[in-house]
């Protein structure tokens, strides 16, 4: 019987779907990377999340592997060309959590613009600071989107009927929004110079490493708001903190970080992140933008569907 290994927590839909296709499923959400290296040779399929990096060494040990399924969207943890050279199919599941990411980004933005975190804390402390918590409205603002894939397009869909202008740049797509009066395809330079809010929805690679850096921030309007829910290393944290400190960046919504393991911070990183975390014009969350009860099912269902198509071809 063909076997599949699941290395992280998933909805039962994925286990049941694989079993219905004739797989014996080993569900091991607590498995370590070292254990994956030891056991992977016997599997025809593997389901991974961020702790398992399917790079050359591990792929070479995967002598019976037919497919790799990524929970979520980020494919930088898989050496796709090498996997495909070995006849291994690679799939991810951004369709499953794109709505969750879009809702999370919008929620963070609204919370930032209306000082909701601070206001909530102050009311609980019996403080009644109305004027200090006066917010700003999105109406009339320009929202810039960099990257119009599953996540970027989902975010745009949330605000397409709002009374704001949306400008979109995607390096790899010819975009047209003729049917939407308030959405326009523009150049990357236009996003930097015209947007009041910039939301980044990109994969992580050499081209996107530290895309949000001092040089590009300097091209922006004073007081621009930055949203990042894609990958932490797309933002040069030190440059962003400096711009937040000077007011060049008026606020930030961050769900991802260059280092997402606080127990590994160097002294310099601890100082940097401590400064970032102390800023009240920043909304922070622990890489959970796509992490909803609904997305847990939808990611599993997406993977089942894609594996089923693969099995039938």
The mean pLDDT value of the chain amounts to: 96
Nearest-angstrom CA–CA distance, 270 and 16: 43
Catalytic: which of 260, 270, 280, 294? Answer: 260
Topology of domain 3-92 in CATH is: Rossmann fold (3.40.50)
Question: Given this model, what pLDDT does residue 152 score?
Answer: 97
Average pLDDT estimate for 295-308: 98
pLDDT score of 50 more than 90: no
Phi/psi region, residue 307 (left: phi>0; alpha: psi -120 to 50; beta: rest), is alpha
Question: Given this model, what pLDDT does residue 181 score?
Answer: 80
* 84 is an active site residue: no
pLDDT score of 178 more than 80: no
* 269 is an active site residue: no
Asked if the domains 3-92 and 98-284 are classified in one and the same CATH topology, the answer is: yes
* 260 is an active site residue: yes
Average pLDDT estimate for 160-188: 91
CATH of the structural domain 98-284, one choice from 3.40.190.10, 3.50.50.60, 3.20.20.10, 3.40.50.720: 3.40.50.720
Question: Given this model, what pLDDT does residue 176 score?
Answer: 82
Catalytic: which of 98, 201, 231, 236? Answer: 231
Number of CB atoms found within 10 A of residue 270's CB: 12
**pTM listed for this prediction:** 0.94
């Amino acid at each position: 019987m063909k076997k599949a290994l699941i290395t992280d927590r998933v909805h039962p839909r994925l286990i049941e779907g694989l079993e219905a296709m004739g797989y014996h499923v080993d569900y091991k959400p607590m498995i370590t990377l070292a254990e994956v290296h030891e056991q992977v040779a016997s599997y025809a399929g593997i389901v991974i999340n961020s702790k398992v990096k399917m790079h050359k060494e591990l792929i070479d040990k995967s002598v019976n592997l037919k497919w790799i399924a990524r929970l979520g969207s980020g494919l930088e943890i898989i050496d796709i060309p090498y996997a495909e050279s070995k006849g291994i199919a690679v799939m991810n599941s951004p369709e499953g959590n794109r709505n969750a990411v879009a809702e999370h980004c919008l929620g963070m933005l609204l919370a930032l613009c209306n000082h909701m975190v601070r206001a909530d804390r102050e009311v609980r402390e019996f403080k009644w600071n109305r004027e200090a918590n006066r917010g700003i409205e999105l109406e009339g603002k320009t929202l810039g989107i960099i990257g119009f894939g599953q996540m970027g397009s989902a975010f745009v869909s949330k605000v397409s009927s709002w009374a704001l202008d949306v400008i979109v740049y995607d390096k790899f797509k010819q975009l047209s929004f003729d049917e939407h009066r308030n959405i326009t395809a523009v150049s990357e330079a236009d996003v930097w110079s015209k947007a009041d809010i910039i939301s980044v929805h990109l994969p992580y690679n050499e081209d996107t490493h530290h895309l949000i850096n001092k040089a590009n921030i300097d091209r922006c309007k004073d007081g621009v708001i930055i949203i990042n829910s894609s990958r932490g290393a797309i933002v040069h944290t030190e440059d962003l903190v400096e711009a937040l400190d000077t007011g060049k960046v008026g606020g930030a919504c961050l769900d991802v970080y260059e280092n997402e393991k606080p127990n590994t911070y160097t002294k310099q990183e601890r100082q940097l992140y401590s400064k970032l975390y102390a800023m009240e014009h920043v909304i922070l969350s622990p890489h959970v933008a796509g992490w909803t009860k609904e997305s847990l099912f939808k990611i599993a269902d997406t993977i089942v569907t894609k594996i089923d198509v693969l099995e039938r071809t």
